[in-house]
Amino acid sequence: MAGSEKTVVWFRRDLRIDDNPALAAATKDGSVLPLFIWCPADYGEYYPGRCSRWWLKQSLAHLGKSMESLGCPLVLIRAEDSTLAALLECVRSVGATRVVYNRLYDPISLMHDDKIKNELSALGISVQSFNGDLLYEPWEVYDENGLAFTTFDMYWEKCMNLTIEISQYLAPVKLVPVPGAGNLRGCSIDDLGLESSKDEESSNALLSRAWSPGWRNAENMFEEFVSYGLLEYSRQGMKVGGTTTSLLSPYLHFGELSIRKVYRHVKLQQINWENEGKSEAEESVRLFLRSIGFREYSRYLCFNFPFTHERSLLGNLKHYPWRLDEDRFKSWRQGMTGYPLVDAGMRELWATGWIHNRIRVIVSSFAVKFLQIPWIWGMKYFWDVLLDADLESDILGWQYISGSLPDGHELSRLDSPEVLGQKYDPDGEYVRTWIPELARMPTEWIHCPWDARSSILEVAGVELGFNYPKPIVELHMARECLDDAISTMWQLDTAAKLAELDGEVVEDNMNNIRVFDIPKVVLKMELSPSTSSLDQKVLFTNGKNKDLHPKEVKAPYKQVIQDGDTGSTANSHVTRKRSSSDSAFNVPSCSSSLIMHSQIHDPDSCSVLYSSYLQEKEDRSGVGKVEDNDSEDSGASATFFP
């Protein structure tokens, strides 16, 4: 019956009014209950860090004011048990007939959403989900064989040849609140417990000076970037100090800014510049849209390969001999490695929750290559401290940089922090800003104080090993250890494959010994006659949903690596081919490849058969030269999209 619907709009990482598909659908018919539920228990070891929670609090306050102006206050609920229990209570309290929300694509959210959808559907509640986060759904993009892509360039090329829907959902001008909404036991934004009084008085006060969360502020930031920053995007990206990136990543993570709107406006601006003859704009637009593409690919990768938050995509790297060195990990976190550019980046990260995307690449590469710290430790630390912490993007970035993806950097690549410092911080101003101990060091020695004469160090007030550390590991030793680790990995991998052959070693088998094991996911299958493309798609896991929850990760994040099933180590770029000295590169047809299938039933979510992944979880109780290439580094830095 027209106008009879009582719809709960479940807000999550879509904290905006404009171009919000779920909100737009709810306003078409009947009354609306805007709802946000904060349930710390649902996050497990991926509980958001201090800076991320500060942003969420400010964004919710901003959204609440907007909803109030539309005549429909945002209801906030802190759930102690589960989001599902709180949502069910709200539905029953107001007699809601429908729940709508925008989809999330990380494996943790997928499992929660599947459970919630099943419970609500069993009670006769209509449940609809929408795409409010991506240009392309993860199940829509596949190769000529119907398989999911495992390299970015091929994925993005296919995307660019697909039709894209960039029409915008208009913001509502008035909402009708659900009768009885005032009787709900909601809470104030302070009662959500997103920040402590100590946080408010100290560190978080500094964040408000630099950032303005909220969907209207996001639109203002984006318009300013398009008008004044986009044209110089390709050139400014070489600078690690100051505002040289779009700074849009936290707004995009919390859904304060529509990705469709970003894409549409950038393309329109590109057309305007072409008409004005500004040819220099082409490269900036290409690089920025490529960054958008990496964000899309991060969701694509996590959705189709739901194990990538806990282990490498390349199966061979489960044999990589990581160093579980807590002291080195602590030195890296504190910015006390003795390499100025790395230390400056880590100190800025701790102080502000933010670092330039190129610095993210440099510090993460140092962690996994020089220190051989497991990439999962680094990824989890980024999740804990980044203002724009985004699980999917961080997974993609760390897997690229660690060499855990087919198109990542070679395992043997090792970049010198000294060379990178001279390139990206030639005057040393960035280092001096964040390492006051080196403020008086001459520019010539700012990135290599260990090479300076004692008289120079004395004048600069630097005493290596006392007020600034000596290098935690020498470059030549890092290269030697990296080479040994790679050799060990291949020996263990080869031994494991030979064991699988039961001693029957023939030439054809040997050809598949040293290849990267790349899992396959079938996205396109022939649908049965009884299956309509308009039916509801539900995550299908053969009743083993619990196995998809990640292993518990505690500082210093040891538990994730207990079975040696983590990823690799390297510095990353998207289009770089691996050196033949490392291994042959191809998609093997041998049984070591993980094969999964996706069955599409409707546009509401995607039905993915994770049985191979679940079974696998049950069964598990060359010194390279210093490389320096702008085109390759641009690919790596784009995986961390600020």
Cα distances (Å, whole numbers) of residue 572 to 15, 297, 545, 575, 621:
32, 15, 33, 9, 31
Q: To the nearest 10°, the Cα dihedral for 593, 368, 359, 552? A: 70
The annotation status of 384 as a binding-site residue, yes or no, is: no
Q: Could you give the angle at the alpha carbon of 287 between the alpha carbons of 286 and 291, nearest 5°? A: 115
3-class secondary structure, 6: strand
Condensed to tens digits (0 to 9), the pLDDT of residues 490-542 reads: 999 888 888 877 655 555 555 555 677 788 878 776 433 333 333 334 333 33
Q: Three-state DSSP class for 522?
A: strand
Distance CA 96, CA 92 (A): 7
Query: Residue 202 has what pLDDT?
Result: 66
Tally Cβ neighbours within 10 Å of residue 567. 30
> Is 390 known as a binding-site position?
yes
Kind of pairing, strands 6-11 and 98-102? Answer: parallel
Q: Which helix (H) or strand (E) holds 350?
A: helix 340-352
Task: Report the pLDDT value the prediction gives residue 234, as an integer from 0 to 100.
Answer: 83
User: For the chain, what percentages of helix, strand and coil (3-state, to nearest 5) are there?
Assistant: 45, 5, 45
Q: In which residue are the tokens 């976190």 written?
A: 333
Cβ atoms of 77 and 38 closer than 8 Å? yes
Residue 555 annotated as binding? Answer: no
Q: Determine whether the annotation assigns residue 288 to a binding site.
A: yes
Single-letter code of the amino acid located at 398 = W
The confidence score (pLDDT) of residue 598 equals 44
Rounded alpha-carbon distances, angstroms, from residue 429 to 237, 373, 471? 16, 28, 20
- pLDDT recorded at residue 496: 87
Candidates 256, 173, 171, 271; CA nearest to 222 is 256
Contacts (Cβ under 8 Å, ≥6 apart) of 486: 411, 412, 582, 622
What confidence tens digit (pLDDT) does each residue in 14-23 have?
999 999 999 9
Q: Copy the structure tokens of residue 370.
A: 């020089």
Q: Is 31 annotated as a binding residue?
A: no
Which helix (H) or strand (E) segment holds residue 253: the answer is: helix 249-253
Does 246 count as an annotated binding residue?
yes
Flag whether 581 is marked binding.
no
In the chain, the N- to C-terminal Cα span, in Å, equals 46
- List the chain residues with pLDDT less than 50: 1-2, 526-555, 557-632
Q: Which phi and psi angles does 248 have, rounded to 5°?
A: -95, -10
Sheet of 98-102, strand order = 75-78, 31-38, 6-11, 98-102, 126-130
The answer to whether 614 is annotated as binding is no
pLDDT tens-digit readout, 617-632:
444 333 333 444 444 4
> Which run of H or of E encompasses 608?
strand 607-609
Q: Are 566 and 317 in contact (CB under 8 A)?
A: yes
Of 160, 533, 136, nearest to 301 by C-alpha is 136
Neighbours of 620 (CB within 10 A): 12
| Contact assessment for residue 102 and residue 130, using Cβ atoms and an 8 Å cutoff | yes
Residue among 573, 524, 207, 536 at smallest CA distance from 358:
573
Phi then psi for residue 581, to 5 deg, are -70, -25
Q: For residue 68, what are its two tokens?
A: 């109030």
For residue 433, say whether it is annotated as part of any ligand binding site.
no
User: Has 129 been labeled as part of a binding site?
Assistant: no
Residue 388, Cβ neighbours under 10 Å: how many?
24
**For position 232, what pLDDT does the model report?**
86
Residue 640, pLDDT score: 57
Burial label, 216 (beta-carbon count in 10 A; 0-12, 13-18, 19+): middle
